[in-house]
Amino acid sequence: MPKIHGAEFMPIRHGGVDQLCIGFIEVSFACCGEHRCIRPCSQHSPLAVSANLFGRTAIKLPHRRQFLGLAAGVTALPATLLIASAHSYPSRPVRIIVGYSPGGTTDICARLIGQWLSERLGQPFIVENRPGAGSNVAAEGAVRAPADGYTLFLATISNAINATLYDKLNFNFIRDIAPVAGIIHVPNVMEVNPSVPAKTVPEFIAYAKANPGKVNCASGGVGSSTHVSGELFKMMTGVSMAHIPYRGTAPAVTDLIAGQVQVMFDNLPGSIEYVRSGSTRALAVTTIARSGELPDVPTVADFVPGYEVSAWFGLGAPRGTPQDIIDRLNAEINAALADAKMKARLTDRGGIALAGSPADFGKVITDETGKWGQVVRAANMKPE
CATH number at residue 114: 3.40.190.150
Task: Indicate whether 134 and 82 sit together in one domain.
Answer: no
Decide which of 38, 53, 87 is a domain's last residue: 87
Task: Indicate whether 179 and 317 sit together in one domain.
Answer: yes
What whole-number distance in Å separates Cα of residue 289 and Cα of residue 143? 35
Residue 383: inside a domain:
no
Question: What does the pLDDT read at residue 120?
Answer: 97
Return the CATH number at 281.
3.40.190.10
Instruction: Single out the residue of 62, 74, 54 nearest to residue 29, CA to CA.
Output: 62
Task: Indicate whether 32 and 108 sit together in one domain.
Answer: no
Question: What does the pLDDT read at residue 134?
Answer: 86
Contact 312, 184 (CB under 8 A): yes
Question: Which residues share a beta bridge with 318?
Answer: 177
Task: Indicate whether 265 and 341 sit together in one domain.
Answer: no
Contact 27, 72 (CB under 8 A): no
Range with the poorest average pLDDT among 36-45, 67-76, 249-258, 367-376? 36-45
Residue 335: inside a domain:
yes
Sign of the torsion formed by the C-alpha atoms of 255, 261, 263 and 265: negative
Long-range CB pairs of 30-39, under 8 A, 24+ apart, other chains included: 33/64, 34/60, 35/59, 35/60, 36/60, 36/61, 36/67, 38/74
Better-scored residue on pLDDT, 373 or 19: 373
Task: Indicate whether 220 and 113 sit together in one domain.
Answer: no
Instruction: Single out the residue of 255, 258, 236 nearest to residue 247, CA to CA.
Output: 255
Residue 384: inside a domain:
no
Task: Indicate whether 112 and 220 sit together in one domain.
Answer: no
Most confident of 17-21, 66-70, 271-275, 351-355: 271-275
pLDDT tens, 237-263? 999 999 999 988 999 999 999 999 999
| pLDDT over 90 percentage in the chain | 67
The whole domain housing 120 covers: 92-186+311-378
Decide which of 258, 276, 309 is a domain's last residue: 309
What total of structural domains would you count in the chain?
Answer: 3
Task: Indicate whether 31 and 42 sit together in one domain.
Answer: yes
Task: Indicate whether 76 and 101 sit together in one domain.
Answer: no
Sign of the torsion formed by the C-alpha atoms of 146, 148, 153 and 157: positive
Contact 56, 37 (CB under 8 A): yes
Residue 13: inside a domain:
yes
Question: What does the pLDDT read at residue 116?
Answer: 97
Residue 58: inside a domain:
yes
Decide which of 309, 334, 367 is a domain's last residue: 309
Q: If DSSP codes are grouped into helix, strand and coil, which group holds residue 64?
A: helix
Cα dihedral: 234, 200, 252, 308 (round 10): -50
pLDDT tens, 257-285? 999 999 999 999 999 999 999 999 999 99
Task: Indicate whether 200 and 302 sit together in one domain.
Answer: yes
